[in-house]
Structure 1
Amino acid sequence: MTTEQAVGRVMEYVTRDRLATAICGVVDIPSPTGAEARVAEWIVDHLIANGVTARLQPLDDRQANAVGTLAGGDGPSTLLYAPLDTFTTGDPAYDVPSATLAMRPDMLPRATLHGDLVQGLGAGNPKGHAACVIVAMEALAADGIELPGDVIGGFGAGGMPSFAIEGGRQNTGHGVGAGFLLERGFTTDYGVIAKPGWNVSHEEVGLVWLDVLVPGIHTYAGSRHRLPYRNAVALAGEVAGHLEDWLEEYAVRHEHGTMRPQGIVSSINGGSERLAASSPALVRLRLDLRITTAQTPAGVTREVRAEVERLGAKLGAELRVEQVAAVPASHTSPGEPIVRAAVAAWEAVAGERHVPILANSGATDANILRMRGVPTARVGMPKVPATPTGEPPDFTAGMNLADLREMRRLVEILVRTVLLVEGL
């Protein structure tokens, strides 16, 4: 049987109903970072009901991975991976006003179909991609095709760049589920992560989170004219504005390979709402800097510290920098079989020559997989160009929209990659 015949046979099982059932099933279950157990349980039950051996892999009582397994031959094993947690939570207590001034239908964990468009929290990223892995596993199982090696469907908790939302274990994000999956019995020869982008990526930026500590003088509003006065909030605004400008130059200066590492000042924390009559002794600015494979977290921390010290000398303030999180960037050689198989699969489905997209700055769990020794390719769906009402989607709407037709194409890429990897 040729590859084309095998793919054609498997894809007969990839129906619109299967795709809609999978994506609606995962979107309808809330899964903010640290609370993915319920959706993982649904995936396990759904895979088992469709002929895939599956199990739950708990990290604690609220967080869990789901794992599906298809036995294959003696060839290389392949992990098809997607995370499960959403960037926002679907709960206005957390999302307003940090992510939106008012909750919209697309921000809720409730899937709605508009023709071929699916709208709901995480429908595009990551749940639509997880649904594609689910359906790929189902279709391979339903066809019963002889696989080159074992195929693992991994659905990971804690994939978002996030600290714990509230209480419990603190290490709930930054790829904790992906690391646990591989550590506890599911390390494979190769990996494919399904995340947005109509392209095959072989490398990812990493990230460093840094806090810039801005000092001031704690004093009373009524004594501003009589006592020494320096408002850390006002000073922090100057520091933030400088860093935002500097980060634009940082990205260009550090461009490497397919990566252009961006950075932002993401939050400000300081002062007392209870004591609005006083100025704070300290304000904390948090930064996210993306880093390339030519950089290290420690090196970037030193670079930011040097820039902040120069700024502090100019402003006459003792500014300090602390590192609070780091995930290194990672690279898989384009010559690795998994990358060549994914590119060949993409070209067969897209009907055109693959050209890598440049200036990327999105980090995923691919970094965790590669750091644990699994050569990994990333492939995903293109961004949906318009909302159900016809407007161009903003960042949030883009995360929360998927197209069933594009899902089918991604499933075919995953299936082709699994069948091609042994021969490359």
Structure 2
Amino acid sequence: MNMATPHKEFDARQKAWYEAACARIDAARLQQLNMQLVDIHSPTGAERPASEFMADYMSRMGLKATYQPVNPITGNAYGRLAGDGSGPALMLYAPIDTHIEAIPEHDIPWVGPELRDDMLPKAQARGETVIGLGASNPKGMVAALTEAVHAVRDAGIPLKGDLVLAFAGGGMPVVVPERSHYGLSSGVSHMMMNGVTADFGIILKPWNEVYYEHPGMCWFKVTVKGSLGYSGIPRGTPGFRSSIVPAARLILELEAWLPEYTRRHTSDQIAPEGWIAAVRSGWPERPAFPSAATEIYLDMRTNPQQSTASVEAEFGAVMRDIISRYPEIDAEWEMTAAVPGSRTDPSNWIIRSAERAWSETHGGQPYPGAPKLSGQTDAAAICKLGLPLVRVGYPWIGDKDMPEEFTDGLGGMGVSHIPDLIEPIKALIYSIIDTCTRSREEVGLG
């Protein structure tokens, strides 16, 4: 593959195709699909209804569509708009699962004091804004990719290469033990290892940028050990050691170290953050008996140059240093999950096509470069499995559009402003035409 193949400007036909497809973007259709998807609950590991719906939707669009079962309650959906076979295949991808269960006894108080409207799988329309669980991420992404393909098909653009529209479950950075330990890109990994592939890929996520580096992550569990106590025992009684108080000291030490980890491992496009995400100790219904163990859970993001083994070694070194300075801390640790980061060569066709698409939809100004991020997505796994991939996106809904009651925290990623998706859809259409109306040789594929 010749990565340095010069990028050609659109010729007159391609310009006409681009304008024709953009003219066929249907905002009402986009909003309707966005709302239909919100109404289909698809927590990680239970995505079957949403994926079956999208397989049927793509079939009705005129694509050759398939529901790909993984187990009885989950599966993926993909559709193919065939070219004449002389051009490259392009995959447009988004996950389809949501990050919370939307069940009060499961989610409260961890999501906040209540399940807000943006955390419930019930769509509301407030003018051109859609409210509901996953309305923006991932349901708005699924709808936007689908609308881009719909517009291209409606415009009757003659494609040389196939256009693949793909959606998978298990995309959230979670693990759900009760549903086959689904998550951590399990759905898209299954999809790609069972025959769904392409020459290039585009994943749609929040932020209207162009990313060729894709963060990975490592999860750690730290267990601070003490002894089972009783609240009636005086402090300092021999044979009783708190696990909770030393754990608090350890948390503060780790919190002081994590920004240094980020600084040390910042790469071209990634500033890998680390967060202490959960702490667990003892029996809430038995506060008279302080626990002999306190568990601390961390998520540490990685850049593509870091191996997961090197992160494990670095974390072990900092833990040993902390313990050497605080002998009251008796702890052990383990890495519980790891997804390596990945990278597409920035000179690859699909990266440069995405940059040109961004320029086209921003008045012709050159793409200035992406701000560093740390958000882990299925892109890491897709690219690691050999598909050159670019992450593009849409503006995260701004203060001017966000209803005030949803401004606190991440929420249900559940506020989608339809006008904010139109420009990114045009950028997607640009890359579709830029790639799928050319020969394989034109895009550097021998």
| Cα displacement string for residues 359-412 of structure 1 (whole angstroms, at most 9, x for unaligned residues) | 211111111111110000010101111355357834425821122112122221
Letter in 2 for 1:25: Q
1:318 to partner: Cα distance: 2.9
Higher relative contact order (CA 8 A, sep 6+): 2
Pairwise CA distance, 1:34: 0.6
Measure, in 2, the Cα distance between the counterparts of 1:213 and 1:82. 36
Rounded to whole Å, the distance in 2 between the matches of 1:156 and 1:197 is 21
- Which residue matches 1:290? 301
The 3-state SS of whatever aligns with 1:419 is helix
Q: What is the DSSP-based 3-state SS (H/G/I as helix, E as strand, rest coil) of the residue aligned with 2:394?
A: coil
Gap regions ≥5 residues in structure 2: 1-11
Give the alignment partner of residue 399 of structure 1, picking from 384, 401, 413: 413
Which amino acid in the other structure matches residue 191 of structure 2? Answer: L
**Do residues 300 (structure 1) and 311 (structure 2) align?**
yes
Aligned to 1:206: 216
Q: Of the candidates 399, 411, 414, which is equivalent to residue 428 of structure 2?
A: 414
Give secondary structure in 1 for the equivalent of 2:410.
helix
Q: Deviations over 1:265-299 (max 9, x none)?
A: 10012212343221222111010001112211111
How much has 1:185 moved relative to structure 2? 1.3
Deviation at 1:13, TM superposition (A): 2.5
Tell me the residue number matched to 2:232: 222
SS of 2:110's equivalent?
Answer: coil
- Are the counterparts in 1 of residues 134 and 412 from structure 2 also a CA contact under 8 Å? no
Single out whichever of 131-140 and 335-344 deviates more from structure 2: 131-140
CA contact (8 A) 2:118 2:406 kept: no
Aligned to 2:396: 383
Does the Cα contact within 8 Å between 1:13 and 1:143 map onto a contact in 2?
Answer: yes
How far apart are the structure 1 equivalents of 2:179 and 2:299?
24
Q: Is the partner of 2:71 in helix, strand or coil?
A: coil
TM-score, normalised to structure 2, is 0.91
Query: When the two structures are aligned, how many residues end up with a matched partner?
Result: 422
Determine the C-alpha separation between the residues in 2 that align with 1:3 and 1:397.
41
Matches within 5 A, 1:324-403: 324-351=336-363, 352-386=365-399, 387-390=401-404, 393-397=407-411, 399-403=413-417
Residues 1:81 and 1:212: Cα distance change in structure 2 (over 3 Å): same
Separation of aligned partners in 2, 1:119 and 1:20: 11
The equivalent residue for 1:188 is 198
Q: Sort the Cα spacing of 1:125 and 1:326 in 2 relative to 1 into closer, same or farther, 3 A.
A: same
Q: Deviations 1:248-274 (Å, cap 9, x if unpaired)?
A: 121112111111110011001221234
Instruction: Report the 3-state secondary structure (helix = DSSP H, G, I; strand = E; otherwise coil) of the residue aligned with 1:212.
Output: strand
> Gaps spanning 5+ residues in structure 1: where?
none
CA distances 1:9-35 after superposition (whole Å, capped 9, x unpaired)? 122321111111111111111111111
Instruction: Tell me which residue corresponds to 1:103.
Output: 115
Match in the other structure for 1:231: 242
**What SS class does the counterpart of residue 350 from structure 1 fall into?**
coil
Percent identity of paired positions between Structure 1 and Structure 2? 32
The aligned residue for residue 263 of structure 1 is 274
Structure 2 counterpart of 1:375, one-letter code: P
* Corresponding position: 1:121 with 2:98: no
Question: Contact 2:119–2:412 at 8 Å: present in 1 too?
Answer: no
- The AA in structure 2 aligned to 1:215 is K
Q: Residues of 2 paired with 1:245 and 1:392: CA distance?
A: 31
